[in-house]
Amino acid sequence: APHRKGLLNFEGVRIKPGSTLIAFLESLRDSRDCDEELRNKAEDFLKCDATGVPFGSLRSLRDAVNSAGVGDTPVYLHKLLEGSELCLPSPVTPPRDPELEARVQKLKAQQLNRDYDRMTSDVDVCRARSSPFSKVGDEVRQVKQQSWAVVNLLVTVGGTFAFFYKAVEYSLPDPHIPLQVLVGLLTSIVVAVAELYFLIRVI
C-alpha cells in the first residue's frame, strides 16, 4: 500500500538491520522473481549494515516489493523491523535570537550587580560600625547632649531664682532683699535637685 503522509516525520531516521531484516534483504537480493533494480537496492542496503539503512528508503523498498507482487504474502514493515535498532538523528538546536540573547545577558548582568551591591552594603555597614571614626562620632554626640543638658539646668535654675526673687519683691510693700534672696535660693535648690534627678536618669 502506498505511504500516506501524516504528522510523523521520519527524515534522518536510520535502521541498523537485525536478523529478520537481513534475512529479508538477502532473500530479495538472491530472488529471481523480482527485477534487477530491487535486487540492487537490497544489495546496497546490506552494505549499509554499519551505518544503518534510511527509514524512508526501506519503506520505499517495501512499497516496491508489495507493488511488484514478490512473494506469496504482503511485506509488513513492522515485522521486518523486529530485532533491528532504530537510530534517531541528533536534535538540531536552532540559533538563539540575537536580541533575546542580548536581553538575557543584560538581565544576568543586572542580577549580578544587585547581588554585589547587597553583599558590599552588608560589608560597609559592618565596617562603619567597627570603624574608630564612628566611635569618635558617638562620643562627640554624647558630650554634646550632656553639655546641652547642663546648660538647660543652669538656665532653669537661674530663671527660677530670678522669678521668685522678683515675685517676692512685688508681693511686699517695701523691698526686702534678704527674704527675696532666701526664697529665690530655696526654690532654685528644689528645681536644681529635680533637674539633676532627671538628668542623671537620662545620662
Question: Is residue 68 domain-resident?
Answer: yes
Question: Is residue 2 domain-resident?
Answer: no
Per the CB < 8 A criterion, the answer to whether 162 and 184 are in contact is yes
Q: pLDDT value at position 2?
A: 45
Statement to judge: residues 119 and 141 lie in one domain: no
Grid cell locating 195: 533637674
Statement to judge: residues 138 and 126 lie in one domain: no
Residue 187 and residue 80: Cα distance in Å, rounded?
120
Residue 120 and residue 140: Cα distance in Å, rounded?
28
Tell me the pairing of strands 14-16 and 85-87.
antiparallel
pLDDT tens for the 203 residues of the chain, in order? 444 444 445 667 888 878 888 888 888 788 777 778 877 887 887 777 667 788 877 888 888 877 777 666 787 878 888 888 777 777 767 777 888 888 989 999 999 999 888 888 766 666 555 556 556 777 788 888 888 888 888 898 899 999 998 888 888 888 888 888 898 899 989 988 888 887 777 66
Q: pLDDT value at position 4?
A: 47
Q: pLDDT value at position 111?
A: 93
Identity of the amino acid at 150: V
Within 8 A by CB and 6+ apart from 140, the residues are none
- pLDDT tens sequence across 45-71: 777 766 778 887 788 888 887 777 766
Residue 48 and residue 87: Cα distance in Å, rounded?
13
Statement to judge: residues 135 and 202 lie in one domain: yes
Statement to judge: residues 115 and 136 lie in one domain: no
Grid cell locating 121: 552594603
Question: Is residue 93 domain-resident?
Answer: no
Helical spans, DSSP H, in the chain: 19-30, 36-47, 55-68, 77-80, 98-130, 132-171, 177-202
Structural domain including 20 reads 14-87
Q: pLDDT value at position 151?
A: 86
Q: pLDDT value at position 3?
A: 45
